[in-house]
Structure 1
């Protein structure tokens, strides 16, 4: 694009010169639209979902159109076929997606084969669903006939009139519900560790008191936080105090909801607290301890795990914050009596305490594999019966120890479970779809802090990215040095895009058989 360096002295008051100005404006716009490189945004691919009335072919063509517009991926390239197959299967209509995922060998099919299978499934589903359509004229002869004997017809009527139980999706066996103590299930009453001593927090010798004013909070947000804080006060997680210290709180609105989450800004407290060496296990080393023979797994997360650990009374004032009741207008200071979220040592302290508790349980269950990563627990076993027995035993143990487990976060006796963002099956582990999507949704970083966050998330998946160290070398070089303007070079952009693309192409990794010799290759 050529821009004049001198004033052309086009007087817009004359018709001839005004016409030149308008033509020049059009040329500038044309140059900008066609000369600027198209932005790359892989997250756009994950926003494409099959519409209710959209045919499989139309859905696939729309997916390809988005890929050409927002990425440099060529749908016609055979090297990208696996990626587009996964996108096509994972983002099809819910009922079709479930059927395609159960279809044996779907990952290895060509897109033409997938389209044929989905067309067939759509037709079958359509013929069954549309029987009750008002437009149906009664001339169609169904392929499937349902016969209900008169003596059991009342059961069918009850099934039709009864709403679906939301807990049905949890799929918890009756044997588990009937033999597990109700104490373990998460409720409005938080858990409290029975054998944990109050934690003392030590500050650095030169640490100065932290007095940060509370940020202004909108009335709507304060009303959203009120039931949370009232519940915490009622159950003793918070108490009123008078402290010389103060750090602000933030109301964070939950996505797709009108509810809020309470977050406290503890950066200044973290900076003044004596460092403790974190002894959190390496996730890759941890997962490698699972025997190849383990076929059934149970995965569970603990609810509000840090709130189970009490804080020493003399240390509680460190976590003080100001609160204004939206109903009464009364201002007061509150502080945590338990480990708060956002405190840098909470994961380490809780993880160590839980690990000691689980050692007692593990001594009596040598036949199962037990993994713990902070508040995530996994059981692995060779048989369903052993896994079921161990699951019941562990849930009872955790319940009596004061921990709480949400039913919706529980995956029981399955051959495939999600654990720490990985999908675990017999002898294999692979990245979960959610983790892949999370990486692809990350926008181009504009600061060193954002780039470090991306590298941290990508580093979690480095086993699935061959030559990760070499690919990420320009990015690690860009974050070096003092904080300042991020120097974003073409090499950085190339590395960034490649790291986002590689996990989508990754397949499952086999777990090593520790009973047999094997060779370990290290490339970094």
Structure 2
């Protein structure tokens, strides 16, 4: 437990371009861009690659809202700076991720260099850092705080509680030589942007810029462009009714060995329907376990879809809580 009364903090560094909120001015060091670029100390979590046959890298779950967040009225976000430099690589494992110098780089051609800090691009790097930051902030995790890699969300139903929690979290980060990008942090807002979503009390919706990117995006011309379009759409599928069935003509184009897209009327219709769906994507309400749910189902020859809704508010309007859909496999279609 962090004691705010007894915590001794050094005087803030003179970073003239920082404008730290007055409540956290004594912790200005945690937003220092200079310190964020320095090598970290050795920790129990120094990064190492342990080669074990048959192991699969763990995945981080896509961010869900919890029941505690549903009641929150005030939100703050912190963005960690240079997480690649937060963990050192163990010396005995540095040779595994060594690489040859390439033409056009600062390293001599043919020279072998090893990473001193957590490298980008390795499959296990995100999960290692996620486990480390969870351990550092485990006292507040799930109670008033959510972490996804380098993004931290602090939420509270009262005005005073988030100030206490933010102060405590900043103290812990500073003690562990972890720093934040002040320009990407938000303090004491009723509505914040987090992991591609807009979060406010009791609801979550897509960011307008994400909706505009889909609406104004050009027609895919190659497999790679179509994969990029569908990958982004799939991230936001929880807002779209019967997404799998709407997107089926486009996903079918990726099957087979053909190198060129066979873009026909059915694919064009699916593309335009997805654009329209994302332009009018609804706000998903947070479910109330104490109220009854309404389930609407739909089944076609190519897929199934479900809408989960609840009557909410004084007007008792039926509002969507969640969407689910999936394509049927060839065996299921028979």
Q: Tell me whether the two structures share a fold, i.e. TM-score over 0.5.
A: yes
Partner of 1:478: 253
Question: Does structure 2 retain, via aligned residues, the 8 Å contact 1:184–1:398?
Answer: no
Structure 2 residue 169 is matched with structure 1 residue 394: yes
Question: Does structure 2 retain, via aligned residues, the 8 Å contact 1:288–1:512?
Answer: no
Partner of 1:322: 101
Question: Does structure 1 retain, via aligned residues, the 8 Å contact 2:102–2:108?
Answer: no
Distance change (3 Å), C-alpha of 1:452 and 1:329: closer
| Structure 1 CA distance for aligned equivalents of residues 60 and 107 of structure 2 | 44
Question: Does structure 2 retain, via aligned residues, the 8 Å contact 1:298–1:414?
Answer: yes
Question: Does structure 2 retain, via aligned residues, the 8 Å contact 1:192–1:402?
Answer: yes
Structure 2 residue 150 is matched with structure 1 residue 303: no
What is the TM-score of this pair, normalised by structure 1?
A: 0.49
Partner of 2:24: 176
- How far residue 323 of structure 1 moved from its aligned partner, in angstroms, is 6.2
Distance change (3 Å), C-alpha of 1:325 and 1:443: closer
Distance change (3 Å), C-alpha of 1:396 and 1:191: farther
Partner of 2:180: 405
| Structure 1 CA distance for aligned equivalents of residues 231 and 282 of structure 2 | 21
Partner of 1:354: 133
| Structure 2 CA distance for aligned equivalents of residues 439 and 275 of structure 1 | 37
Secondary structure, counterpart of 2:113 in structure 1: strand
| Structure 2 CA distance for aligned equivalents of residues 288 and 405 of structure 1 | 25
Secondary structure, counterpart of 1:314 in structure 2: helix
Distance change (3 Å), C-alpha of 1:483 and 1:290: farther
Distance change (3 Å), C-alpha of 1:342 and 1:326: closer
- How far residue 375 of structure 1 moved from its aligned partner, in angstroms, is 1.6
Provide runs of 4+ in structure 1 moved above 6 Å. 323-331
Question: Does structure 2 retain, via aligned residues, the 8 Å contact 1:319–1:335?
Answer: yes
Question: Does structure 2 retain, via aligned residues, the 8 Å contact 1:297–1:379?
Answer: yes
> Which protein, 1 or 2, shows the higher relative CO under an 8 Å CA cutoff with sep ≥ 6?
2
| Structure 2 CA distance for aligned equivalents of residues 167 and 482 of structure 1 | 54
Partner of 1:186: 33
- How far residue 199 of structure 1 moved from its aligned partner, in angstroms, is 2.8
- How far residue 410 of structure 1 moved from its aligned partner, in angstroms, is 0.5
Partner of 2:193: 418
Q: How many residues align?
A: 282
Partner of 1:340: 119
Q: CA RMSD in A?
A: 3.0
Long gaps (5+) in structure 1: 1-164, 206-273
- How far residue 334 of structure 1 moved from its aligned partner, in angstroms, is 2.5
Distance change (3 Å), C-alpha of 1:387 and 1:451: same
Secondary structure, counterpart of 2:139 in structure 1: helix
Comparing 181-190 with 321-330, greater Cα deviation is found at 321-330
Match runs of 1:115-154 below 5 Å: none
| Structure 2 CA distance for aligned equivalents of residues 328 and 463 of structure 1 | 45
Distance change (3 Å), C-alpha of 1:278 and 1:481: farther
Compare the two structures and name the one with the higher strand fraction. Answer: 2
Partner of 2:310: none
Long gaps (5+) in structure 2: 1-15, 297-305, 307-323, 326-334
The structure that has the greater radius of gyration is 1
| Structure 2 CA distance for aligned equivalents of residues 280 and 294 of structure 1 | 24
- How far residue 202 of structure 1 moved from its aligned partner, in angstroms, is 4.4
Question: Does structure 2 retain, via aligned residues, the 8 Å contact 1:398–1:404?
Answer: yes
Compare the two structures and name the one with the higher helix fraction. Answer: 1
| Structure 2 CA distance for aligned equivalents of residues 282 and 423 of structure 1 | 15
- How far residue 330 of structure 1 moved from its aligned partner, in angstroms, is 9.1
- How far residue 299 of structure 1 moved from its aligned partner, in angstroms, is 1.0
| Structure 1 CA distance for aligned equivalents of residues 295 and 44 of structure 2 | 40
